């Protein structure tokens, strides 16, 4: 069993950390929030005073933080995790962050005699609690091999996407496609309404035709056809519009740096910015159908 440092015990990190404890690992945990720290103590972790303290004697440090700036501030610098962690220690950053920051931190770990993978997730809070997350992993073969048994305690589907930063690349490409396909699906259902075509009929036809896609068949943006979708509970998330907007912005920023054209990704980002700015940041991302119908 490993000695694991865990930084960032929020909606995702809290349950992920608990699954590491359940698997028999010892965890030294840190978060800025007192509530999160209290919950971690109750779950059986040793809570420490600073992020870098989690790395003391650690085999592995896992982080689940909001954005690239938090990841850099925690790992880098004289008082950071890298400076405190033993040589050979493995860092697993599961936060969704920009590709450039992920590659910068991984290069610093390598230069310091440590290993690092970026391992963003999909599966949401439900997947984090059930230990069924999908991990998209970027890093060397050695780093991936060392990370695998740790990730298996928190997830089910673990894919090595290539070198450093490729986990983040996979995550933002997937979520850009999801944002675009959700908007397209919402447009189709909104048009059907105006044309007098029943939503269930469109679903029955399109879910078995060339318009079929996950946003329709697993997460349908109108109530009825998929009983588990957020549309059936007044668009309570699920996956909040603010999080979709974050991922779309990361995709558009990465595209700009890489010289890729993402006209629909850019449009999707703008539409989610409008939706979130109109007071719906906390609404499920499928709720954008109401904005496309013309509602405020």
The residue ranges that bind ligand NAD (CB under 6 A) are 7-13, 30-33, 36, 51, 64-66, 70, 73-74, 95-96, 121-122, 124-125, 239, 243, 246
CB of 71 to ligand NAD, least distance (A): 9
For ligand NAD, the nearest residue by Cβ is 10
Residues 211-247 as b/e (b if ≥16 CB within 10 A, e otherwise) read eebebbbebbbbeebbeebbbeeebebbbbbbbbbbb
The answer to whether 220 and 285 are in contact (CB under 8 A) is no
Prior bond of 157 cis (ω within 30°): no
Half-sphere exposure of 253 (CA within 13 A, CB side): 15
Nearer to ligand NAD, 102 or 188 (CB): 102
Rounded Cα distance, 183 and 189, in Å: 10
Nearer to ligand NAD, 160 or 246 (CB): 246
Rounded Cα distance, 134 and 157, in Å: 5
What is the separation, in whole angstroms, between the first and last Cα of the chain?
Answer: 53
Nearer to ligand NAD, 36 or 255 (CB): 36
Q: Cite the active site residues.
A: 171
Nearer to ligand NAD, 101 or 122 (CB): 122
Rounded Cα distance, 48 and 17, in Å: 14
């Amino acid at each position: 069993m490993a000695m694991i440092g865990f930084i960032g015990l929020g909606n995702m990190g809290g349950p992920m950390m608990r699954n590491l404890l359940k698997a028999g690992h010892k965890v030294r945990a840190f978060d800025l929030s007192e509530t999160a720290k209290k919950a971690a103590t109750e779950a059986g972790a040793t809570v420490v005073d600073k992020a870098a303290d989690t790395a003391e004697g650690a085999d592995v440090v896992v982080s689940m933080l909001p954005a690239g700036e938090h990841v850099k501030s925690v790992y880098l610098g004289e008082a950071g995790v890298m400076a405190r962690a033993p040589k050979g220690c493995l860092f697993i950053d599961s936060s969704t962050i920009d590709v450039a920051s992920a590659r910068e931190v991984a290069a610093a770990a390598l230069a310091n005699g440590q290993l690092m993978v970026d391992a963003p997730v999909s599966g949401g809070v439900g997947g984090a609690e059930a230990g069924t997350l999908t991990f998209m992993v970027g890093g060397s073969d050695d780093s991936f091999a060392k990370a695998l048994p740790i990730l298996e305690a928190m997830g089910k589907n673990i894919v090595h996407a290539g070198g450093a930063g490729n986990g983040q690349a996979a995550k933002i490409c997937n979520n850009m496609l999801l944002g675009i396909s959700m908007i397209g699906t919402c447009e189709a259902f909104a048009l059907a309404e105006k044309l007098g075509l029943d939503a269930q009929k469109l679903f029955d036809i399109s879910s078995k035709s060339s318009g079929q896609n996950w946003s329709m068949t697993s997460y349908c943006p109108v109530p009825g056809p998929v009983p588990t979708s957020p549309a059936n509970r007044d668009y309570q998330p699920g996956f909040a519009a603010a999080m979709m907007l974050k991922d779309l912005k990361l995709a558009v920023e990465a595209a700009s740096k890489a010289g890729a054209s993402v006209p629909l990704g850019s449009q999707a980002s703008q539409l989610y910015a409008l939706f979130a700015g109109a007071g719906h940041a906390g609404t499920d991302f499928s709720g954008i159908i109401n904005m496309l119908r013309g509602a405020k």
